[in-house]
Amino acid sequence: MWTRKLKIEGMTCSSCALGIEDKINVLEGVEITVSYPEGIGLLVVTGSISYETLIEIIEDKGYRISEIDIEKIEVSQPEFPDNGRQLHVAIVGTGSAAFACAIKAVENGAKVTLIERSSIIGGTCVNIGCVPSKIMIRAAHIVHQQKSHHFAGIKKNQPIIDRKQLLAQQQTRVDELRAAKYESILASHPNINLVKGNARFKNVNTLIVEQGQGGKIEIEADRFLIATGASANIPAISGLSEAPYWTSTEALQSEQLPDHLIVIGSSIIALELAQAYLRLGSKVTLLSRHSLLYREDSDIGLSLHKILVKEGMTILDHTQAETVSYKKGLFGSGKFSVKATNGSVIKGDKLLIATGRVANTNSLQVEQAGITMDKAGRIVIDDHMRTNIEHIYAAGDCTNQPQFVYVAAAAGTRAAINMTGGNAVLDLTAMPAVMFTEPQMATVGLTESEAKLKHIKTESRLLGLENVPRALANFETQGFVKLVIEEHTRRLIGAQILAPEAGEMIQTAVLAIRHQMKIEDLAGQLFPYLTMVEAIKLCAQTFNKDVKELSCCAG
């Protein structure tokens, strides 16, 4: 293992540094960290690739390299405490961030203690979040296709739905994935130990784990990762605390389809579950404090509102719940009554609260370790996943990072690298986000309004799906692709998509932004014909031509 410190000339912005890192860090046994302001790169090599080859790769991008440290410097393994004693990492939580950290830390020579307060491991995504929700959404899609497809000559029908069978199948797949992706990892990694109980900090180096019936143990460690996730945020609505409302957990685990579901919320979880229940046969009324998805590009919320209303959903924009009451009925039934700020009273048999999620940090007593939190109770971390305490890290939904499982997993891996002597950064400048309604929403980068706040002059184009051959062939033309570019560089800086399969399409835009592609370069790429992702190429072409004047698969 060796390292060299390089002077890199010719970089013009921080994106140049990221470009060099992207080019080099995909190579096996090689890692480079580049600082644009200093013009410095730290090259660490554990593999067999030659120094000359690496320099050639970097200079091929137009940069000039000179060495600051001429001599090869042997790099030791991470410093383990007490004369080589194995580094001990304690992780609070067992979700995606926790397991990603545990696996990488063990690979790098550490031993790991995982601490979990729940009776099952795996966190939100596999158990009560991503996986079960996507199964339910897909089932609802099949129902909708049977009764509302657009193809002549195929008889539509109203399917008979057995919710208990659907739920049993859903839970079986959840159990299978938890066993494959979590439980089996514990069984196959002797250096990962699981402790059950509620963890809290005693001091900066020690956790106390309450194990029930008065039992508790203390765990001392060299490094800590807080990965406790988040839970449903419950708003302060009069009467709500006395009512048997649903969060997303109960909505995904219910054996019954309500006749009328009232949904309070207007973001991703609220809209995904509201549409799923609508398609499975429930009447759905949704109360939105603002407009739908008001933090996203306004075209998305406006278009999706029209689509959902056309499908049968009642949406009350700019409406809040003032009071909630619940009247019990026979055999466990009952009725909710929600009085809204517009004066209306909505009655239904189930009430779903989907107003965001809050970090699970209340019971950790982080003040005992001096860890900084923000006003929302989230742990503040930097791009290396470090808290303000040098040896304590955090990752996932309990932090001030975006609440996406792939962000959590990436953060967990990088935290482990940094804990064990590495230097890994999580760059979120090209982070995709997806919502699995139909049509799906997918975004990356900046919207026009966000760019304006950053004083970036932009151009944008919006292409309706009626201009996309695959959408026409599918008879599914509701939605659009919108691309945003920086005016003077012509580089793509943002994409907003509302379309079937938007989640599959968005990665093309992610890579284009990541690699600083100009819109003309994107428009000139080869895209397979009669695919939905071709809509990105067509939208890119509209910056310089009228796509209506092109042949169906024009290059």
DSSP states of 271-312 as a string?
A: HHHHHHHHHHT-EEEEE-SSSTTTTS-HHHHHHHHHHHHHHT
DSSP states of 51-109 as a string?
A: HHHHHHHHHTTT-EEEESS-S-EEPPPP--HHHHPPPEEEEE--SHHHHHHHHHHHHTT
Residue partners of 56: CB distance under 8 A and separation at least 6: none
The DSSP element (H or E) to which 9 belongs, if any, is strand 2-9
In three-state secondary structure terms, 122 is coil
For 485, the token pair is 């570019």
Q: Specify whether the backbone of 295 is left (phi greater than 0), alpha (psi in -120 to 50) or beta.
A: alpha
Q: E-strand spans in 319-432?
A: 321-328, 334-340, 345-348, 350-353, 357-359, 392-394
| Helix residue spans in 420-455 (DSSP H) | 448-453
User: Rounded to 5 degrees, what are φ and ψ at 495?
Assistant: -145, 135
Alpha carbons 279 and 144: distance in angstroms, whole number: 6
Of 272, 269, 289, 292, the C-alpha closest to 340 is 289
For 481, the token pair is 């692709």
Amino acid at 106: V
Alpha carbons 119 and 128: distance in angstroms, whole number: 14
Alpha carbons 547 and 555: distance in angstroms, whole number: 11
Of 479, 484, 482, 439, the C-alpha closest to 462 is 482
DSSP states of 484-513 as a string?
A: EEETTT-BEEEEEEEETTHHHHHHHHHHHH
Alpha carbons 188 and 153: distance in angstroms, whole number: 54
Instruction: Judge contact between 275 and 438, C-beta under 8 A.
Output: yes
Q: Specify whether the backbone of 91 is left (phi greater than 0), alpha (psi in -120 to 50) or beta.
A: beta
Active site residues per annotation: 11, 13, 16, 63, 125, 130, 552-553
Count other Cβ atoms within 10 Å, centred on residue 95: 31
Instruction: Judge contact between 313 and 260, C-beta under 8 A.
Output: no
